[in-house]
Amino acid sequence: VIVVDDRSEDGTARMVRIFMKKFPNLRLVEIKDKIPSMAPKKNALFRGIQRARGEIILTTDADCVPGPHWLSSMVAYFEPGVGLVAGFNPYKSSAPYNNTFHQMLALDFFAMAAISAAFIGLGFPISCSGGNLAYRKSVFQQVGGFARIDRWISGDDMLFLEKVRDHTSWKIRYAIEPESFVPTLPPPNFKSFIHQRIRYASKCPRLALPVTLGLTGIYFLNLLILMAGALSFFNIKWLPIFLTSFFMKMLFEWNFLKSASKIFQQKISLKLFFLSEGIHPFYIVCMGLLGVLLPFQWHGEIYRRKSTLYFPTG
């Protein structure tokens, strides 16, 4: 187990050294400074992977809590020919995260995971989560690590996935057993949520053309729903367009999430779904714009899309 302490201020290094006395296979990598040639998280991952001796690399984040069977469950997917395995990071739903706001975030996060799993199943992977990800060290080396994506603040997962998909013949799988899930903490408040989603959206201009076109189509569908809804107040002819597009979107998404919930063994609240659907078009349109135009805050610093543009807040 390799713990990479990337300039943390919570005593991580001290605690790891204490545990190293009891667990000799525990390793600590300390990072003192940022480097201009690589985004901080990618630098931390790269340094950790350099120290790794095994062939299978599993990554998770500081706010994640892997279960006792996580490693064995993920590694079981590495049949011959499989180079990368993506996993699910469900948001914790226990107190204090059992309110309506956090339950809606959990539903949104589950929807993203379900889409990721669906496209991997279709043979065209488009996304994954770095909080629950595994790949062969030889695959990492084969694609040149994070080369060409190293300065993008986000994308140590999705952009790396694209490199494996487009430049190797390795198969990619998605782990769906509950033992492979790694619970993670949701954003604590609305401001943190907005910054997180802007960070997610910030890497979209770097995604492959088919993915970008698909996301653009989704964006304009939601924009159409908003515009048709607004114009319906001034011209009744727009009302059928609004109702048709909105309810077709809602019906498709409900059927998709219900099917995915059975596979992932997750429960979906109809009340939360309807509430989320009412907000979703605003959310998609706003985040799509903000992700391209605005910087985001992450770990006490403000970034734009690439690590060459950051602004310390302290």
Task: For residue 193, give every residue at least 6 positions away whose Cβ sits within 8 Å of its Cβ, in sequence order, or none.
Answer: 105, 186, 187
In the prediction, which pLDDT does 306 show? 55
Q: What percent of the chain has pLDDT over 70?
A: 95
Helix H or strand E segment including 34: none
Nearest to 314 by CA among 292, 294, 299, 295: 299
Question: What is the set of domains in the chain, with CATH numbers?
Answer: 1-33 (no CATH), 34-312 (3.90.550)
Q: What is the pLDDT of residues 206-241, one digit of tens each?
A: 788 888 889 899 999 999 999 999 999 999 999 999
Residues 62-79, mean pLDDT to the nearest whole number: 95
Q: For 295, how many CA atoms within 13 A lie in the half-sphere containing its CB?
A: 15
Rounded to whole angstroms, the Cα distance separating 181 from 175 reads 8
Residues 184-190, mean pLDDT to the nearest whole number: 90
Least confident of 13-22, 151-160, 180-189: 151-160
For residue 69, the SS3 value is: coil
Other CB atoms within a 10 A radius of the CB of residue 95 amount to 8
Nearest to 184 by CA among 17, 65, 59: 65
Q: Is the pTM of this model over 0.85?
A: yes
